[in-house]
Amino acid sequence: MTNILVTGGAGYIGSHACKALARAGYVPVTYDNLVTGWQDAVKFGPFERGDLLDRSRLDEVFDKYRPAAVMHFAALSQVGEAMAEPGRYWRNNVTGSLNLIEAAVAAECVDFVFSSTCATYGDHDNVVLDESTLQQPLNAYGASKRAIEEILRDFEHAHGLNHVIFRYFNVAGADPDGEVGEYHRPETHLVPVLLDTIDGNRDALTVFGTDYDTPDGTCIRDYVHVCDLVDAHVLGLEWLEQGKGSRVFNLGTGSGFSVMEVIAQSRSVTNREVPYEIGPRRAGDCTKLVSGSTRAQAELGWKPKRSRLETMVTDAWRWHQTGLYQK
């Protein structure tokens, strides 16, 4: 059996990736400090508690499992927080990733799959966002991810580190079997906050700005189902195993939905009213982030299966109703 080191395997996307890896015949070894992850989301392989800033712990885990590849999800990922605490974001995301990359190279583990983000692009009016778009991040989260991409490129040149970089658009939904799902504390992402509000656990959703240059004035995002997203990661791993070399892929569907459209979809899926109020813009938000690339489909053979907005909200609602997200 082939071990894959999954950093952040106790988190939202990482736990879904572990399930997809186990299903594909790999052993996902979770490395997570449990600051934002949850130990009981680690269901599909061994768990090693550790921090990316702890190089000796990383070396110990590489030595114990001799992984064939790394999937690196562990990161702080909230735009608002990144604006307020950039130092934490740079230290955790960039210094932590550098430690991990150096530990991987030292262990001769040179296939690396990295979660990056469309937040590295920043705002580009009327420009199709594909993998060649200039990266001009608006916040420390996007900037930290762009820096890690650059580190990966330098380590490829110097040490032969083969890497697949996935730039995610907005991830939503949950495992349709209900084994894992989204649970952030605090939760800030639109779909889970909406469902929590609909469920009566919050007074109202605040819509962050209605004065953007979009048809209804609210921000537009490209939502992709977490199960489709992690399927792409397994394909990315196979790509590296086949020696196809380093590559960047956007992961989005190419369809954008405004905040108001997501609210309307949630109303229709849950058949309940959505209390919301209009608030000011959130610092660091881009107007519109929609993928203009089909590279992942064309080159990896990626086929999103659950990424219709209705399916994503339905799966997220099913997970929400299990109550497991409330730990």
> Is 141 in the active site?
yes
Regarding beta strands 111-117 and 69-72, do their DSSP bridges make them parallel or antiparallel, or are they unpaired?
Answer: parallel
Q: How far is the CB of 116 from ligand UDP (least distance, A)?
A: 13
Token pair of 255 as six digits: 């369809």
| 259 lines the binding site for ligand UDP (CB under 6 A) | yes
How many Å apart are CA 211 and CA 107, to the nearest integer? Answer: 51
Token pair of 229 as six digits: 């997203």
Site track for ligand UDP across 212-231, x = CB under 6 A: -------x-x----------
Residue indicated by tokens 């740079």: 90
User: CB of 178 within 8 A of CB of 322?
Assistant: yes
Q: How far is the CB of 77 from ligand UDP (least distance, A)?
A: 8
Token pair of 44 as six digits: 């599909």
Residue indicated by tokens 């680690």: 42
- Residue closer to ligand UDP by CB (options 206, 255) is 206
| 206 lines the binding site for ligand UDP (CB under 6 A) | yes
The DSSP bridge partners found for residue 29 are 5
129 burial via Cβ count (<10 Å: 0-12, 13-18, 19+): buried
Distances (CA, A) of 142 to 64, 124, 169, 270: 33, 14, 12, 33
Token pair of 2 as six digits: 């082939």
List binders of ligand UDP among 265-294 (CB under 6 A). Answer: 282, 285
Q: How far is the CB of 183 from ligand UDP (least distance, A)?
A: 14
How many Å apart are CA 253 and CA 195, to the nearest integer? Answer: 22
| 124 lines the binding site for ligand UDP (CB under 6 A) | no
- Residue closer to ligand UDP by CB (options 99, 120) is 120
Q: How far is the CB of 261 from ligand UDP (least distance, A)?
A: 11
Q: Which residue in the list 141, 183, 223, 325 is annotated as catalytic?
A: 141
User: Smallest Cα–Cα separation from 206: which of 157, 259, 158?
Assistant: 259
- Residue closer to ligand UDP by CB (options 99, 266) is 266
Site track for ligand UDP across 160-179, x = CB under 6 A: ----------x---------
For 15-30, b where at least 16 C-beta lie within 10 A, e where not — what string?
bbbbbbbeebebbbbb
How many Å apart are CA 238 and CA 32, to the nearest integer? Answer: 24
Q: How far is the CB of 81 from ligand UDP (least distance, A)?
A: 11
| 210 lines the binding site for ligand UDP (CB under 6 A) | no
| 79 lines the binding site for ligand UDP (CB under 6 A) | yes
Q: How far is the CB of 79 from ligand UDP (least distance, A)?
A: 4
Q: Give the binding range for ligand UDP (CB under 6 A) out of 176-184, 205-213, 294-302, 315-323.
A: 205-213
Please list the active-site residues. Answer: 141
Name the site residues for ligand UDP (rule: CB under 6 A). Answer: 79, 170, 188-190, 193, 205-208, 219, 221, 259, 282, 285
